[in-house]
Amino acid sequence: MIFDVHIHVQPWEMLKSEVRSMLEKTVDPRVTGILASPKNLLQWMDAEGIDRACLINYVSPDVMGFGRASIDWIAEFTAGHRDRLLPVGSVHPQVTPDVAAETNRILDLGIRLVKVHPPHQVVAANAYLHGLEKQADLYRICQERGVPVMFHTGTSIFPRARNVHADPMPIDDVAIDFPRLKIILAHAGRPLYGETAYFLARRHPNVLLEISGIPPRTLLEYVPKLSSIADKVLWGTDWPSPGVRSPRANVEAFRALGLGADIERQILWENAAAIFGE
């Protein structure tokens, strides 16, 4: 059983032209057809051996082009298929007048995971401590309603991304201030902040690592002590990001690391199923 918690299923027509041009040169050419409908996506998932997936969406009007409507889009896209397709959404605290109301609105739509992308939203994860108090409403409500928050950690290659926000250490504040909030560190800080991401996962009971975007054959170079926190690691591929052509091939490369059946089962299925339900 494979639970991929990081697949990008987004309304690509919203992308800024420079981002779209960049992606069209590097991503799987089948993307448009696969993402055209839930039926096509599910057929592709079956062929790739993926049982369940979190479908990543987030508001990033200035860097990527995605607006608030992208969250409504993914809620509609997944309707009727949420046993396998889990919608992911976000609230951008700098462009949202009432963060609390918007957070409750998207959770009422059925959003199962909230994405925070500091380099693409151009806001620090702990900005609520430095004048953006309403950001705390997002974390508070997700904590109260039991909805995990996934933070992008690590650098971004896109033209307008602000990589000053790539370091995951500010999430230390979030983990302290919201101790019942389930926090997922996407990409485990790659390529510069693997040690920091690992430290945060070891330090905080409510912090987990997600390992998408890291070539599986080099995974243990980024997180050498992965086995020691196997119960806190989630599988993801970041498909269809540049370089990720086949989730099935990524799973095979991961299994080739020889970590053992128990660890593989935890990372590939059990840990995510425990968070999101069987």
Domain boundaries, the chain: 3-276
Tell me the mean pLDDT in the region 179-184: 98
pLDDT value, residue 203:
98
- From the centroid of its chain, how far is CA 55? 8
pLDDT value, residue 178:
98
pLDDT value, residue 216:
96
Q: Quick one: 235 exposed, middle or buried, by C-beta within 10 A (0-12, 13-18, 19+)?
A: buried
This prediction has a pTM of 0.97
Rounded Cα distance between 185 and 249, Å, is 23
pLDDT tens profile 37-87: 999 999 999 999 999 999 999 999 999 999 999 999 999 999 999 999 999
Assign domain 3-276 one CATH number from 3.20.20.140, 3.40.50.1970, 3.40.50.300, 3.30.1490.20: 3.20.20.140
pLDDT tens profile 219-229: 999 999 999 99
pLDDT value, residue 115:
98
Tell me the mean pLDDT in the region 85-101: 98
pLDDT value, residue 155:
97
pLDDT tens profile 188-198: 999 999 999 99
Rounded Cα distance between 152 and 253, Å, is 23
